[in-house]
Structures are given as C-alpha cells and as structure tokens.
Amino acid sequence: MLPNIPGLGNLQKQVQKMQEDMARLQTELDNDRLETASGGGMVKITTNGKGEVLNITVAPEVVDPSDVEMLQDLLVSAMREANQKAEAHKTEKMNGAMPPGMMGALPKGLF
C-alpha cells in the first residue's frame, strides 16, 4: 500500500493532462504542413510537422540530363532546410505545450 502523500492526486492529474496534451500535439504535428523551397523555388518539399516528407516538386527546367549534379544538390539543400524547419516547428509547439522550464529538463531528441 502506498503512503498518503499530499498532492499526489494533483500530480497524477497534471501527468494525465500532460499525456493528453502530448497526444493532441502529436496529432497536430501529423496534420501540419510545412513547405520548403530550394534554388529559388525550383525544388519544393512538403513535410508534416514531424519532418516526414510528404511531397517533392521539381520544376521541369531543373531537369537537365547533362547536369544531374545540380538537381541532386538542390534536393539535398531542400531536404536539409525542410528537416531544420520541421525540427524548429516541432520544438516551438512542444515548448508551448509543456509547463515553463520543462522542455530544458527533458533529454534532447525525446520528441
């Protein structure tokens, strides 16, 4: 049997609310759409809020069989930017959902 600890019931409610908030946040991140462009918009990548790639659009004028390397560079650049954008978006949302100071106490990469 657990000892009667003052405030334990309140703590359990806070943990439950935080779990509910995190589940809601995960759903929001799944539904968020972020677009990133590279090469002046010649390559566009759409990700969800978790950074999962949903779509890649390449302008026809970028497809030059004699310069495949440029297209590859644009794709890599757009992917890096898309990942950074999604990570910043996710961190911003997580910071908004957590009690003040809590995100700094959690291990990096947890979410």
Q: Kindly state the DSSP code that residue 65 receives in the 8-state scheme.
A: G
Evaluate if pTM is beyond 0.75.
Answer: no
* CB within 8 Å of 82: residues ≥ 6 apart: 34, 36, 45, 47, 51, 53
Tell me how far apart the alpha carbons of residues 23 and 16 are, in angstroms, rounded to a whole number.
11
Tens-digit pLDDT profile for residues 57-78: 999 998 999 999 999 999 999 9
Tens-digit pLDDT profile for residues 18-50: 889 999 999 999 999 999 999 999 999 999 999
Whether 111 and 95 have beta carbons less than 8 Å apart is answered as no
Output the six-digit token pair for 72: 């590859």
Tell me how far apart the alpha carbons of residues 32 and 41 are, in angstroms, rounded to a whole number.
20
Please report the domains of the chain, with CATH numbers, ordered by start residue: 34-98 (3.30.1310.10)
